[in-house]
Amino acid sequence: MVSTFIHTVLSAHNISRIDQWISDSTDAISPTLQQQRWHPIMSETSHSLPDEPNSIFTTDQFRPTSPSYFHLIPTCIDLFMQHIYPIMPLVHMPTLRASITRPQEMYEKNLLYSLCALTSTHMSGKSILAPGPPSWEAAGRFFLDECISVRQSYDFVEDKTLYAVISSYFVSTAFFELNQNKKSWYYLREALTMGQDLGFHDESTYAGLAPAEALCRRRTFWILYVTERSFAILRHKPLTLQKTPAFPTTLHEYEAPEIHSGFMHLVNSYHLLDSSFVDSWNESASIPASTATYTTLQQELSRPHPTSLSLTSIQKADILVTQQWLRLIVWQSSMRQGLLSSTAEDESMTFRYPLKIAHSLLDVISSLPTSSIEVHGMGIFEKIFEIGNTMLDVMQACGTSIPSESYGVVQDPFEIFVKTLSQTPNSQRQYANLLLAKAAEKPEIHRFSMPLSNLIPLQDGSYGSGADEAVEGEYRGRDCGG
């Protein structure tokens, strides 16, 4: 996102059996030896993606037989404000709206087209009712190509405006939605570099700025901070943002209070994972983290958000799904450090903890409207997939006899995860089908074995032709303790 952005292909080894990880548990093996044996355990989904085009544009040919979509600009701005701005409040919207009523400078077109590309790619395949083209993806590709073309028509490298940084971030996110991950990473690094060049990380650079400009710059820095940490975890990339300015504390005059509170809740979640944690995750830390460090992180990430806090459903989806995903990341890092035990007093340090995370995610998804999840795009689906994927591994090794009263739910997380991941064509193809295939390959999980062709979404949002039967039955298996 941001998550949303935050992005589709996870590059690392997929360890298909958790019993390989725990065959000689922490009670019998030294942490040093375990650290040598374990590999990154984020999922490998890249085999399911098509080759990326060699062109600098979205395809190997610039706008092949594409109609113009410039007429969609006002619609894109409205949709951005309604669905995306609550989680990416980077642009001063009155200034942007005023710019389209007059001839624009090149740097303004650069931002406008990137915003339209971001909005269009996020609308693609969604159930959100909005006037638009037959294909939002085609519109997204059009605006991406126009943005790249505009950049070639002036000296973009010397563009020292906030708009240049935001546009690179929007372009990165749009390419991520199109599964063009090399370009997504390239433009994210471009945004990071340009932001550093403008001193976004240096508090002194904010002195003397107009309040609206300063707020947009602060928010842009922190969205880049969040996104870079997501990439560092998902794709084992190094961190570049070390020095940070103060958090934003104000609102634009047109904003509701939840814009600021929601944004800061997301930032604070990632801020818990400092550079030392990321170094440990990427196996570049000189000193491994302690059990106390991990249990403290889990306690912080498990804190419920204040019920009095006013947030939109879109913000809740971003914050709460990210919260569960970060709990999983911390657990995975604990395991890779050899700190888990079947007899640990703290539940977060046991092998079965992902099952609790899965049930927490189930509560989150069940409490939110479908549109509030799907509008975030592939980034949020990726996080849901990772939790479901790890849940299957733990179920295979530890058994699936989970008393519903343990977590206060009676629904089946796997069923809900598959349905959620089937909300858009891209997410179904890349995540739901992969999760179903993995379950079908595991004989220990009989209840989930079913042909992929049987997952047929119906108009009412339910699933027919065998999907319901595939998720019936009782959990079977053995217990890992904890």
Nearest to 392, CA basis, from 327, 326, 442: 442
CB distance 323 to 301 below 8 Å: yes
Which residues sit opposite 102 in a β-bridge? none
* Residue 70, CA distances (Å) to 17, 30, 60, 147, 172 in order: 50, 62, 22, 12, 21
| Residue range 239-278, pLDDT digits in tens | 999 899 999 999 999 999 999 999 999 999 998 888 888 8
| Residue range 180-212, pLDDT digits in tens | 989 999 999 999 999 999 999 999 999 999 999
Q: How far apart are CA 432 and CA 425, in angstroms?
A: 10
pLDDT at 72 over 60: yes
Q: What's the mean per-residue pLDDT of the chain?
A: 80
Other Cβ atoms within 10 Å of 42 Cβ, number? 24
Where b means 16+ CB within 10 Å and e means fewer, 465-478 reads eebeebbeeeeebe
Backbone angles phi, psi at 456, to 5 degrees: -120, 105
Q: Which residue has the higher pLDDT, 325 or 401?
A: 325
At 339 the pLDDT is: 93
CB distance 359 to 307 below 8 Å: no
Q: What percent of the chain has pLDDT over 90?
A: 56
At 368 the pLDDT is: 92
Nearest to 333, CA basis, from 297, 366, 381, 382: 297
Name the token pair of 11: 């590059």
Average pLDDT over residues 14-39: 34
Q: How far apart are CA 35 and CA 288, in angstroms?
A: 10
Asked whether the whole model's pTM tops 0.85, one would answer: no
Average pLDDT over residues 52-71: 67
CB distance 314 to 83 below 8 Å: yes
Three-state SS at 146: helix
Other Cβ atoms within 10 Å of 274 Cβ, number? 13
Q: How far apart are CA 424 and CA 385, in angstroms?
A: 14
At 89 the pLDDT is: 98
Name the token pair of 115: 């915003």
Q: How far apart are CA 76 and CA 69, in angstroms?
A: 10
CB distance 333 to 280 below 8 Å: yes
Determine the Cα angle at 76 with ends 70 and 77, to 5°: 110
Q: How far apart are CA 260 and CA 281, in angstroms?
A: 30
In 272-400, where does DSSP find H-type helix? 275-281, 291-301, 313-336, 353-366, 370-374, 378-398
Determine the Cα angle at 327 with ends 396 and 480, to 5°: 30
The per-residue DSSP string of 211-227 comes to: HHHHHHHHHHHHHHHHH
Name the token pair of 405: 């009263």
Per-residue confidence at 17, pLDDT binned at 50, 70, 90?
very low
| Residue range 77-136, pLDDT digits in tens | 999 999 999 999 999 999 999 999 999 999 999 999 999 999 999 988 776 667 778 889
Q: How far apart are CA 416 and CA 250, in angstroms?
A: 38
Q: Among the listed ranges 378-392, 428-442, 447-461, which one has the minimum average pLDDT value?
A: 447-461
At 455 the pLDDT is: 40
